[in-house]
Structure 1
């Protein structure tokens, strides 16, 4: 497992106050969610890279339509997993999960940006 994955597990487990039983049931569901979300993001990447000036109006329309369809699929996925997470976590923990994802991403970006004196991920500040 990568250092980033280990840091995510430690961060979320702490933030959500997961019990051992919850953690055993949560991580497989969460990992499946992440894999499906990444697949959607990968599918939409080629649309973002294209040069607008090189496309016809119809191609732009098709790309935007596909982008919106992908965003809707992402929303549907989040709603599906919201229901699945509630079978493992309390409603409060599900809400904390959303905040923990944002906070973890911000923290990773901050660390990658090289904020001087920042402790390694997973370490207390």
Structure 2
């Protein structure tokens, strides 16, 4: 019985590793498409692109960490929260949004050393357009017979 358990465990580990690798590849493909899309939308020169993307990636990583920290307890069922805990959750949400805004202001100053204000507006528009496009493609992929 133990050899079968070992083989089953090994098989599950291989499947999980393959799934994780596939998800990582997909994420990398989406990120590469986003970079290409935004570079085009913003009409970045090669010099701007070379300086801009490391700053942008640094900002995105810090922003993700902020959101991740907030969402840690977010999945808890609302019905399980006391009124006081719910108020604390709302206060925490606003605190994270304020930190996000402070972070964005900090990075806008850094972006403006590399790109123009118009390019920054195009960045914000492009991010929204890319997200809409991605969601539309995901939605189309879920529909049967398409």
TM-score range, shorter chain: 0.7 to 0.9
> Residue 49 in 1 paired to residue 61 in 2?
no
> Residue 109 in 1 paired to residue 142 in 2?
no
Larger gyration radius, structure 1 or structure 2: 2
Contact 1:47/1:67 (CA < 8 Å) preserved in 2? no
- Larger relative contact order (C-alpha < 8 A, sep ≥ 6)? 1
Matched residue, 1:75: 101
Matched residue, 2:32: 6
Aligned length: 116
How far 1:83 sits from its partner (Å)?
1.0
> Residue 60 in 1 paired to residue 86 in 2?
yes
Structure 1 residues not aligned, in runs of 5+: 116-125
Matched residue, 1:97: 123
Render the CA deviation track for 1:76-118: whole Å, top value 9, x for unaligned.
1111111111111011101111101111111111111126xxx
- With normalisation by structure 1, the TM-score equals 0.86
Render the CA deviation track for 1:38-61: whole Å, top value 9, x for unaligned.
111111113432222211122112
- With normalisation by structure 2, the TM-score equals 0.74
Moved >6 Å (runs of 4+): none
Quote the RMSD (CA, aligned, Å). 1.6
User: How do residues 6-45 of structure 1 correspond to structure 2 at under 5 angstroms?
Assistant: 6-45=32-71
Give the number of the structure whose residues are more often helix, by fraction. Answer: 2
Structure 2 residues not aligned, in runs of 5+: 1-24, 142-146
Q: Distance in 2 between matches of 1:27 and 1:55?
A: 41
